[in-house]
Structure 1
């Protein structure tokens, strides 16, 4: 069905996942995956971190403009940190969506220009893999795990099956 006048301006903006410790998750998403921190909002008992690939120049904007600009783009990952989880010895972690109970959410995905090089880099950085390129039948994709156990699918930009 074609988009209508009522929905033509709609964009998919972001996906939110909860994290235990931003001191682990932010370096993973920023340094390991190369995302930029678009905005950070401390809400008192939790903090929101908005990350994205800045192929549109948002990362170079002043902080206030950058925070507003995130509402005009697509493909943002929101990490929500509920304060205290990082130091709570009884905290059990969040459901990744890939195990019972709580199966549902599956993964996020990134594309890379050279999947073999990207996977070799992840390997050298000690990133845990859920599925390596050499595992299973689908030898053109890999899955790595973030610090909270969320799956990140790694897909070549020019996928030829």
Structure 2
């Protein structure tokens, strides 16, 4: 089975692709300004981690197979909240054999994994034809990214599974990366670091 690594901080690609033409002539940050703005992390934050991204889902019967079978993630934990009529599913690229058996240890372990996805299902939304998550809206969320070992094979597999593509790997303007959608319309960037070298090598 192909294994993937969640990559954060790649929304720059989507921003350039979809927004540059509407901004007119613009100038990015200079190297000196960038250096000034990005301060050294405080020592008190040395053990902070990027732990989770929360996504609303409409139907777990569609979303869970997508994230586990299609993207190869493991279900790390499920929490039901009857008082709020919702369930939270945590998924990530972890070895199922590493999941602790003890409940308290399991909870702590889940919330110390890096770059997990939290899928939140409000009970009954799967039966509401008018309910839509905001995966394709413009209210701040861009996409998250997956690094894959072989982008062509990964995209061929996604296509064989009927996954919807927003951008295929040979589409302009940035070739050698792709965008797909999950069942709720969230965009997922598919990248391979080596494949991007020719495009990015000459950039600052």
Please point out which of 30, 55, 59 is paired with 1:21: 59
Aligned to 1:77: 117
Distance 1:157 1:23 in 2: 32
Q: Offset of 1:148 from its aligned partner?
A: 0.4
Q: State the structure with more CA Rg.
A: 2
Aligned to 1:120: 156
Cα pair 1:141 1:153 within 8 Å, conserved: yes
Structure showing the higher strand proportion among its residues = 1
Query: Residues 30-72 of structure 1, C-alpha deviation per residue, up to 9 Å, x if partnerless?
Result: 0000000000001110000000001xx4x21245343321222
Please point out which of 147, 158, 175 is paired with 1:139: 175
Please point out which of 124, 128, 131 is paired with 1:88: 128
Distance 1:103 1:3 in 2: 29
Q: Which runs of 4+ in 1 moved over 3 A?
A: none
Which shows bigger deviation, 22-31 or 128-137? 128-137
Cα pair 2:100 2:109 within 8 Å, conserved: no
Q: Offset of 1:104 from its aligned partner?
A: 1.4
Cα pair 1:46 1:80 within 8 Å, conserved: yes
Root-mean-square deviation (Å) = 1.4
Aligned to 1:66: 106
Higher-RCO chain (CA-CA 8 Å, sequence separation at least 6): 2
After TM superposition, the score normalised by the length of structure 2 is: 0.71
After TM superposition, the score normalised by the length of structure 1 is: 0.89
